[in-house]
Amino acid sequence: MDHAADAHRTDLMTITRFVLNEQSKYPESRGDFTILLSHIVLGCKFVCSSVNKAGLAKLIGLAGETNIQGEEQKKLDVLSNEVFIKALVSSGRTRILVSEEDENAIFVEPSKRGRYCVVFDPLDGSSNIDCGVSIGTIFGIYMVKDDHEPTLDDVLQPGKQMVAAGYCMYGSSCTLVLSTGNGVNGFTLDPSLGEFILTHPDIKIPKKGKIYSVNEGNAKNWDGPTAKFVEKCKFPTDGSSSKSLRYIGSMVADVHRTLLYGGVFMYPTDKKSPTGKLRVLYEVFPMSFLIEKAGGQAFTGKQRALDLVPTKIHERSPVFLGSYDDIEEIKALYAAEGKKE
């Protein structure tokens, strides 16, 4: 038995240790955020375990219900939603929860209330479960003053007001990517320890990328700037190499690749979805928050994505997010289109 190697393994930067280190930078901190995050991490571990044995436990089939978005719910969706609601409420640090799977926001009972509102998609990309493609959980956290009775306005805030955001991807490994407002860090679950270990410290998205990611099946319905940008990716006029198309169809997996390798992830408006397809609160905002904190940009076609002010909890929006220079190109195409009108 290699005792030296085992001893070294106790010197790892776990997510708990990382968050406690961050907390120590703020002497006024009460530790509430650390407790909330530990409950989110527990939820992610539970869902990861369930995803891994979904086939064995017959969790893959449909639950026979339809969620608020009109999508048929998979059993894993239902389970994941219950797991996160219970984990968040039991933390005693939340006030309002908004889940993709629930029509209405959940207001936590007064005895278990805290200072945070959490918006989340418990299992994004669940239509890909059956074919083994990576799926994930997305979450965003707002802090509110606890001097009033909570209302929906506490969560209907622009994304720039979030204090933290992240996602957990369940794939060949289980990876949790998190930003508490100061940089972006990635942690990978070590199954033998049951701990998330820091494996991607201080992620920075490349300034320009070689990949574009979009559902080209919608091309006939795109607006002019989107079509022009994709044309430019395929047939560059400046002598540069063409960009590669990579589209998984699972937002967590597509954004994760974009964050690490650079490029652009796009879900534009089109004639079928004039207001866009992705949900603002728990898909567009958390991912835009992470991309910006890693040095990239997120744009809706009209404005910075994090400046949007949602009016409904399940509101949708188009989004272009990724490398700084690539998003600048898209912004220029939209500006040129606007001048023509």
**d(C-alpha 299, C-alpha 308), whole Å:** 10
Going through 94-241 in order, the beta strands assigned E by DSSP cover 94-99, 106-107, 113-124, 135-143, 164-170, 174-179, 185-190, 195-200, 211-213
pLDDT at 312: 97
* 128 beta partners: none
SS3 category, 137: strand
Three-state DSSP string of 240-260: CCCCEECCCCCHHHHHHHHHH
pLDDT at 9: 61
Query: Which pTM value belongs to this model?
Result: 0.92
Give the count of alpha carbons within 13 A of 305, CB side only. 33
Q: Average pLDDT by consecutive 10-residue portion of the chain (341 residues)?
A: 56 90 81 94 94 72 69 78 97 97 96 96 87 92 87 95 97 95 96 95 97 96 96 92 95 98 96 93 98 98 97 97 98 88 58
Place of tokens 């990861």: 48
87 close to 39: Cβ distance less than 8 angstroms: yes
SS3 category, 56: coil
pLDDT at 51: 86
pLDDT at 111: 94
SS3 category, 65: strand
Alpha carbon distances (Å) from 210 to 218, 242, 266, 328: 21, 8, 14, 15
Phi, psi of 322 (to 5 degrees): 155, -150
